[in-house]
Chains A and B, each alone.
Chain A
């Protein structure tokens, strides 16, 4: 179940050690700044490129590198080329703080990272002290943006998705809903709890909430209980392998209604495996930031550029990596226009302000920050028709 561990978790073990290392990093940061040469701007790119969660780090990296390559091909920023300082943190919080310190010593003016939630939190704790601009592609944990105004993310959060799907369920005229989720998973539980809370606020009846444990493959007991309460729709905010099982088993038991999901559904079809059949998925909905089936011109341009570069289709994480790079470099561009020295304290503040007040047209939608590190951006609701995914609706920020 490598996927069950993904991006959102990895316990918060490292908080304490991270604080200790943080003090060291502030000292070292004072000594070694300003090594960017005048014709390049050095930007950090960190993520797990080996280890259990490498797939996410590598996907984000491909997206971010593509954006930087395109920007440099267009002449860079103010005639200066962007130089990426790319370092592997192996999905480990302590390692991530080490990497952060090395990057600061190397003179980066901002960092694209981290990727998974726990190392991201560790880095954010340290970076807050330096006011180092941080833009994460995929850290969905609420805490990531809580340490200082310097941390931003390109992705939407778990509670936001739960609330969004509850509102969506109401807009579809569903009256009674049920949920089935991995009660031991931070991500699954985060989405589920926000969904249920929002349903209560807007008067949707949640007939039953069924939990399961990581590693379970038989959901028929829970699904039979769900079918017995005759819901109009069932929320399954889990990762795609389990979502596929749940949908398939529910259909075998004769459930014909809709399923609702969150962005963990992103790979349920379209990769090399189809985790549920086209008929079974017909009329289900989930929310996410990016699908290659989105016919918008920007998305198709990005998909083509990505395919030309890497010979494969981009995933959700690639798109978020691309946008995270765009957000950070957008902030740097604004700072440059004010003529400050980027490696000074004023420079960092100017970049942070640039990000906070700016707005960029990313491939996952127009991204703005409304006084916090959480993005204000549109979210796609995807549905399945005849075996392929289709954008059903775009929910405004």
Chain B
């Protein structure tokens, strides 16, 4: 029974990492940018939920909607303001810009909201469900379900729709895609919108499970999700999900055997080992089929 609960804990944590890792992998797949501000978009999403529910007293459904919409708009705006002008600049400039955006969001949040944690009210009654002697957290079940559905929709979007086809084309060869009449800027904006919407969903699931929003919450979350994306093979959608779950399971099982202080070390060690054995990640293939 304890084992089952630990598996569920791992799945829940891994699902959140997977959602965040998907955002990393999408953006990297299309413009080869490690969007370090991605974790901080989640932080903003959690604060939006807090403002809408705790400050304005609106229904949780509105908070979920506004968090996802807010993150989506923020992601697109960051791309337009900070990354788009650097589209033809060296990769390093845009990487450093991403770090700058990340600091801007963190310190901006600290200025506006203060350094103290804000408590996001519960979205719904989260008392555990009992199945005989087994107690399951509804939040964990919901998190896993939402991640499965999101991944399915995303896969459909990328593989079966016209926009998805455009995304794959841009990711393979931006110049050629432009010559074929694909609007590259729109496609990139759309990718940011999808990645950030996933961050918004991740923000809501995170706030459900961990109930607190702090200005720096995106840093560790973003780093772990980045590890997950690289583990799975950055640029690969199933890879991001596998990587996320792997990181989640690794953390929970290290804690479960009583070595919780080694948790982060184990995750990063895992990354080092995978990079040595398989530099492109578990499902990563060099150059083909990104996004």
Extra contacts besides A212-B260, A221-B251 (15): CB < 8 Å: A1-B216, A183-B261, A211-B260, A221-B6, A221-B253, A221-B260, A222-B260, A225-B256, A228-B2, A245-B212, A251-B128, A252-B128, A252-B140, A253-B128, A275-B119
- Measured in the bound complex, the distance between the Cα atoms of B6 and A224 in whole Å is 7
Chain A residues lying within 8 Å of B118, measured Cβ to Cβ, are 273
Which residues on B sit within 8 Å (CB–CB) of A183? 261
Cβ contacts A169-188/B at 8 Å (1 or 0 each): 00000000000000110000
Nearest opposing residue in chain A for B248, CB measure: A218
Q: Is A296 an interface residue (CB 8 A)?
A: no
Q: Which residues from chain B contact A212 at a C-beta distance below 8 Å?
A: 260-261
Cα A254 to Cα B4 in complex, Å, equals 14
Contact at A217–B217, with CB atoms within 8 Å? Answer: yes
Decide yes or no whether A20 CB sits under 8 A from chain B.
no
Would you give the shortest CB distance from A274 to chain B, in whole angstroms? 6
Q: Assuming A2-B115, A211-B261, A273-B118, is B2 touching A225 (CB within 8 A)?
A: yes
Q: Mark B125-152, 1 if CB is under 8 A from A, else 0.
A: 0111010000101011000000000000
CB contact list, B86-129 vs A, under 8 A: 115-119, 122, 126-128
* Distance A220 CA – B10 CA, assembled complex (angstroms): 9
A210 adjacent to chain B (CB < 8 Å): yes
Q: Which of A213, A215, A248 contacts B261 (CB 8 A)?
A: A213
Query: Taking the complex as formed, is A366 at the interface, i.e. its CB lies under 8 A from any CB of chain B?
Result: no
Q: Does B155 contact A (CB under 8 A)?
A: no
Whether a CB of chain A sits under 8 angstroms from the CB of B172 is no
- Contact among A3, A211, A245 with B116 in the assembled complex (CB-CB below 8 Å): A3
Interface: A35 (CB within 8 A): no
Please give the distance in Å from B33's CB to the nearest CB on chain A.
26
Q: Is the interface of B mostly helix, strand, loop or mixed?
A: helix
In the docked arrangement, what's the CA distance between A249 and B12, Å?
13
Residues of B within 8 A of A218 (CB): 13, 209-210, 251
> How many of chain B's residues have a CB under 8 angstroms from any CB in A?
39
B1-22 interface bits toward A, Cβ cutoff 8 Å, 1 = contact, 0 = none: 0100110010011000000000
Q: How far is the CA of A184 from the CA of B135 in the complex (A)?
A: 31
Please state if A220 and B12 are interface contacts (CB–CB under 8 Å). yes
With A225-B255, A254-B135 known to touch, is A244 a contact of B212 (CB < 8 Å)? yes
Verify A252–B261 contact, CB threshold 8 A.
no
Q: How long is the Cα–Cα vector from A1 to B12 in the complex, in angstroms?
A: 24
Q: Which residues of B contact A50 (CB under 8 A)?
A: none
Closest to A272 in B: B116
Contact assessment for B261 and A253 in the assembled complex, using a CB-CB cutoff below 8 Å: no
Across-interface contacts of A245 in B (CB, < 8 A): 210-212
* Mask: chain A, 29-41; 1 = CB below 8 Å from B; 0 = not: 0000000000000
The reply to whether B211 and A244 form a contact with Cβ atoms under 8 Å apart is yes
| 7 A-B residue pairings within 8 Å (CB atoms) | A220-B9, A221-B251, A221-B254, A222-B260, A224-B6, A253-B5, A273-B117
Contact check, B117 vs A221: say whether CB atoms are below 8 A apart: no
Q: A213-B263, A221-B254, A225-B258 are in contact. Are A274 and B119 (CB under 8 A)?
A: yes
B4 to chain A, nearest CB (A): 10
Q: Write the residues of chain B forming the contact surface with A, with a CB cutoff of 8 angstroms.
A: 2, 5-6, 9, 12-13, 115-119, 122, 126-128, 130, 135, 137, 139-140, 209-212, 214, 216-217, 220, 251-256, 258, 260-261, 263-264
Decide if A277 is an interface residue (CB 8 Å cutoff): yes
Chain B residues whose C-beta falls within 8 Å of the C-beta of A275 in the assembled complex? 117, 119, 212
Cβ of B209: which chain A residues have Cβ within 8 Å of it? 218, 249, 252
Q: Give the top 5 A-B pairs by smallest Cβ distance, nearest first.
A: A221-B255, A254-B135, A228-B2, A254-B128, A220-B9
The docked-state distance in angstroms from the alpha carbon of A1 to that of B217 is: 10
A225-259 interface with B by 8 A CB criterion? 225, 227-228, 241, 244-245, 248-249, 251-254
Expressed in whole angstroms, the Cα–Cα distance for A220 and B217 within the complex equals 17
B214 to chain A, nearest CB (A): 8
Q: Which residues of B contact A211 (CB under 8 A)?
A: 260-261
- Decide: A241 near B117, CB < 8 A? Known: A218-B210, A221-B254: yes
1/0 contact string of A136-177 vs chain B (CB within 8 Å): 000000000000000000000000000000000000000000
Rounded to whole angstroms, the CA-CA distance of A292 and B24 in the bound complex is 48
- When C-beta atoms are compared, the residue in chain A nearest to B138 turns out to be A252
Nearest CB in chain A: distance from B9 CB, A: 4
Q: Which residue of A lies closest to B10 (CB)?
A: A221
Which chain A residues lie closer than 8 Å to B256 at the CB level? 221, 224-225
A221–B252 Cα gap in the complex (Å)? 5
Q: Smallest Cβ distance from B36 to chain A, in angstroms?
A: 18
Chain A: minimal CB distance from B85 (Å) = 34
Q: Beyond A217-B210, A217-B217, is A224–B128 a contact (Cβ under 8 Å)?
A: no
**Proximity string of chain A (192-217) to chain B, C-beta cutoff 8 Å, 1 when within and 0 when not:** 00000000000000001011110111
A1–B252 Cα gap in the complex (Å)?
23
- Which residues of chain B are near A208, meaning CB under 8 Å? 258
How far apart sit A245 and B209, CA to CA, in the bound complex (Å)? 9
| Chain B residues within an 8 Å CB radius of A217 | 210, 212, 217
**The one of A215, A222, A252, A274 that contacts B139, using a Cβ cutoff of 8 Å:** A252
Most buried by A among B117, B128, B264: B117
